[in-house]
Amino acid sequence: MSAEEEIVEYITSTRFDDLSDAAVETVRNMLRADIGTTIAGAHADGCREIVQYCRNIGGAPEATLLIHGGRVPASSAALANSVMSRALDFCDAIAPGPHIGSSTIPVALACMELRGGCDGRELLTALAVGTEIAARFNLTERAYDGLDPTGICVPFGATAVACKLLGLTRDQTWNALGIAFNRCGGSFQSNIDGTLSVRVNQGWVSQDSVASARLAQLGFTGPKNFVSGIYGYLHLYGKDLITAADIVGGLGREDRLLQVVYKKYPSCGATQGPTDVILGMIRDLALDPGDIASVKLALPPYAYKLVGNEFRIGDNPTVDAQFSAQYCVANVLSRGSSGLRDFIADSVRDPALSPYISRVSVVSDAELNRRGHTAMDMTVRTRDGGEYHRGLDIAPGFPGNPLTLEDHRQRFRDCIDFASDWFDAGRAGQVLQFIESIESARDARRLITLLTETN
């Protein structure tokens, strides 16, 4: 059986009872994380504009624009809702960088509406299958080499979700994945330059995944050998560094979706460790941030390229801050915390941060690669000559250093607190309750209703 056949068989045959308890809980945590960030991100830079863009295009009223309300074509709804979910960069992720749930969940909601509803178990199954597929198509830092991982591996997972919920046949699913393969793309330059296209790329993954499934349903065909063909995924994106066995080995028996990461702080995954370490040093060593003369941060080369550049404010201050380790450490020194409000444009522009930013330097250290993707070292020097060192191998929220259930619930509450001007806390409680008991839902579209009812 070819790799493509194994993937299609897994997508079309997996049922809720086939899922492990850990896989179900992973998807539930993804819903907590990404529904919360969708609510909080609904009015972030570019989100109102993408909603208006989708409304202006018009078309069949197939699916719902979350928070803002109104109905547009399913692909358009998936686009806009994904941009909102990704906007605050507080959604789930997986090393070395793809954001999965911010596409799979909006795609699932749009397709659920297209088919006229589904129960909670069907929704969880589709999301688990899609997340597993995206995780298996995930590549290494060396293979990505500047490609945006979200745009490379997540299209397969999001398309799997669409195929599952729309009830595509085996052949249609195979074609849909081949069509989606032709839409892989994106560059980390968007992140480094601080542009809103970081969020739009997430939305394009969702939009194209819905379209790929629907085109296949209509009879369009895609390359059958999209994984192992001469110009397939393994060659074009895997750069012949991985094999088909790396993707399908243990499929249906080993849960790679358990590698999903949930951020403790609302910034790039590569900044989680530095943020946590500086907070811990200030707390544990009773350091006065005003007495800190310098902070030297060492990151692995891949992380350094993404978040190690000298901090500067461009056209989109929030994105600039989210992808700057220098800003994240300086923010803690200045404010003693790292929360959603610390990354809004006015907070990023606050001149009171400048003295702290100048005290933070970031360097690249290839030796850290031996310790892991999120390994880092930090040296803090105080004005009285004190010198303190602390390292970390696994950042909080990553496999091996997981968040607790209460951490997940607090993340959701933090998002609701941030969104208090446009989302009622009482309704947010209903959303969380629905997510935590979603298996028993007869019609999972209730979640969409909760996310679009007026205050």
Cα 307 → chain centroid? 16
Give the mean pLDDT of the chain. Answer: 97
Residues 262-284: pLDDT tens digits?
999 999 999 999 999 999 999 99
**What is the model's pLDDT at position 191?**
93
**What is the model's pLDDT at position 364?**
98
Residues 212-226: pLDDT tens digits?
999 999 999 999 999
Q: Which residues contact 156 (CB under 8 A, 6 or more apart)?
A: 7, 133, 134, 137, 177, 180, 181
Q: Is the pLDDT of residue 158 over 80?
A: yes
Q: What are the structural domain ranges in the chain?
A: 3-262+405-450, 269-392
Average pLDDT over residues 340-355: 96
For CA atoms 53, 58, 63, 68, the dihedral sign is: positive
Q: Is the pLDDT of residue 454 over 70?
A: no
d(CA 46, CA 207): 17
d(CA 393, CA 250): 27
DSSP string covering 75-117, please?
A: HHHHHHHHHHHHTTS-S-B-TTS---HHHHHHHHHHHHHHTT-
CB 329 within 8 A of CB 296: no
Of the pLDDT bands very low, low, confident and very high (cuts 50, 70, 90), residue 6 is very high
Of the pLDDT bands very low, low, confident and very high (cuts 50, 70, 90), residue 167 is very high
Residues 133-156: pLDDT tens digits?
999 999 999 999 999 999 999 999
Q: 367-400 burial string, b = 16+ CB within 10 Å, else e?
A: ebeebbbbbbbbebebeeeeeeeeebbbbbbbee
* One-letter amino acid for residue 453 of the chain: E
Q: Does domain 269-392 have CATH number 3.30.1330.120?
A: yes
Average pLDDT over residues 72-85: 98
Residue 427 dihedral angles phi and psi, to the nearest 5°: -70, -35
CATH superfamily, domain at 3-262+405-450: 2-methylcitrate dehydratase PrpD (1.10.4100.10)
d(CA 330, CA 316): 18
**What is the model's pLDDT at position 234?**
98
**What is the model's pLDDT at position 455?**
45
Average pLDDT over residues 380-403: 97
Average pLDDT over residues 77-96: 97
Residues 287-296: pLDDT tens digits?
999 999 999 9
d(CA 450, CA 34): 15
Q: Is the pLDDT of residue 190 over 70?
A: yes
